[in-house]
Amino acid sequence: MAPKKRLCLPSLLLPLLTLLLSQADTRSFVVDRGHDRFLLDGVPFRYISGSLHYFRVPRVLWADRLFKMRMSGLNAVQFYVPWNYHEPEPGVYNFNGSRDLIAFLNEATIANLLVILRPGPYICAEWDMGGLPAWLLRKPNIHLRTSDPDFLAAVDSWFKVLLPKIYPWLYHNGGNIISIQVENEYGSYRACDVSYMRHLAGLFRALLGDRILLFTTDGPEGLKCGSLEGLYTTVDFGPADNMTKIFALQRKYEPHGPLVNSEYYTGWLDYWGHKHSTRSIPAVTKRLKDMLELGASVNMYMFHGGTNFGYWNGADEKGHFLPITTSYDYDAPISEAGDPTPKLFALRNVISQFQEIPLGPLPPPSPKMMLGPLTLHMDGKLLDFLYFLCPQGPIRSILPMTFEAVKQDRGFMLYRTYLTQTVFEPTQFWVPNNGVHDRAYVMVDGVFQGVLERNMKQKLFLTGKVGAKLDILLENMGRLSFGSNHSDFKGLLEPPILGQTVLTQWLIFPLKVDKLVKWWFLLQMQRSSRPQTPSGPTFYSTTFPILDSGGDTFLFLHGWTKGQVWINGFNLGRYWTKRGPQQTLYVPRPLLFTRGALNQITLLELENVPPHPQIQFLDSPILNSTLHETNIYSLSADTQSASEPMELSGH
């Protein structure tokens, strides 16, 4: 009997590798101009996509949100990459934890969602400085989003790190990225620098190759400056806009190929001091159906909004400065807490008329928790912790310096000087040329005097003896993020004036508030034993157990004015109860310790504390209560009052 022939392992692997390579080679996503459509692997295809921002959702919740999007009938997810989130200092990169872009791409793969990637470099997204790093402004004369050599050098350096990371995830390489946007709504920017757009397109091609579909997105007014030959032109618009007219404009730039709305607005953003924005379900569903009947590909912005945790919110300027709320709920089909809404089920019903919906029900809303009221205890005034907040000591300067000049990107900075003469009568204190960016909390010898705010008609009158200590705590409320945003420097941009005297000789303290909160025992050591009801920037805290398994919840700060809040050291974001509309802060369940473990909450109240310093956790959000009317300088002829609805084109 002849011996059995041994199988050769390499001979078995070779056909398998050949098969896999041939399959990868057949993967393609292209424009079929002859039939006005996309082709995916040679088959007619259109995407029905939704926007979700991984940087607004804790990593542990990514899979849940993506699964709900897939179960809603979507076949793609669209998201930005915020440069400033990943390169906090020049040449220092962070792709860990909730910044792990590759992990998010993998979660999208598991959810069976294709990816439409928007890496910028500018993204808007109502994100601080539109995703551009604040350290760019350390060169004060830099021209952002242009072919300024300083800007291009920083962009090139960043993309030479980012784009090779995503290269293996391109669809034709076996990944899930079917298309990539170059820049973002560039036509809404004042520069209209064609050389800059050509440079970006060349950079993308050099690093990603010729097979990936590159595109641009603009509102109808921005197509002229935002589009570029060689990049597929898409548009964005909402339910109330003229679909026929706007798609006709797209056809001027793309006579053949698919119609694409890259940002179809399911809701809208919120500003402090304005009403909570909503879009009606019938309007959103009707226009979606209209577009799908035309065969258009559509991305819904947002499908799940999430939260501007920490200091990451952006701002707009339309005659006056409009910082964006901590909540980015956006009236989206999936709520800020990740729950399906009636809008989602209505959209799912429309989608089901055009493509197959995955079998199975959508997950129900997550468990919610109520707790409290809880009494907070005063830890001490911010000025009491100045050494711990700025252990390296102050920077000395004749004139005040900006945040950017001292490398303080976000948060707070304290400016201190001493009166050189006695001021007996109440004397006006002001900063010329709208030089407060963005809010100044003024104290004399530790006593809170009031607030000066960017673009606001506030008058502040001070008295003090010679040698009195004048402290100004400056809060950065978020850099401009949309459209014609100039370089938005923060801090005192001009030297303050008391009466007729220009104040000089400043001590400048860049504050590391988040680090102090993590050193909570220092707050406890400083805690005052005597009852006080102070005003001005003051820390409050308490601990509390959750005896059961807990749930998502919403922190309600009734009676508090304005400040920042941390739970278990995590910066939950800004609250501004007095101004609204947002009255609660979303607290995801994973941030909380359960089964009897102690949770710690810390508040930095910047102005006034309620008579009973208490908080509550509710089982539903309050996002629509505007309590305060603002008084705004008339800086331009088209300035709108704070109570009027504001329409901005795109993101």
Task: Provide the annotated active-site residues.
Answer: 185, 263
The token duo for 15 is 């056909």
Inter-axis angle of helices 101-110 and 149-166, nearest 10 = 40
3-class state of residue 525 by DSSP: helix
Residues in Cβ contact with 184 at an 8 Å cutoff, skipping those fewer than 6 apart: 80, 118, 120, 122, 123, 124, 130, 217, 651
Residue 389: closest CA among 542, 537, 608, 601: 537
Residues in Cβ contact with 16 at an 8 Å cutoff, skipping those fewer than 6 apart: none
Cα(478)–Cα(490) distance, integer angstroms:
9
Residue 583: closest CA among 625, 630, 628: 625
Cα(566)–Cα(472) distance, integer angstroms:
23
Residue reference for tokens 């350290």: 135
Residue 584: closest CA among 553, 554, 627, 544: 554
Residue 75: closest CA among 352, 366, 290: 352
Residue reference for tokens 């705010």: 453
Cα(412)–Cα(415) distance, integer angstroms:
10
With contact defined as beta carbons under 8 Å apart, do 55 and 38 qualify? no
With contact defined as beta carbons under 8 Å apart, do 112 and 74 qualify? no
Strands (E), 326-376: 371-375
Residue 164: closest CA among 224, 223, 98, 93: 93
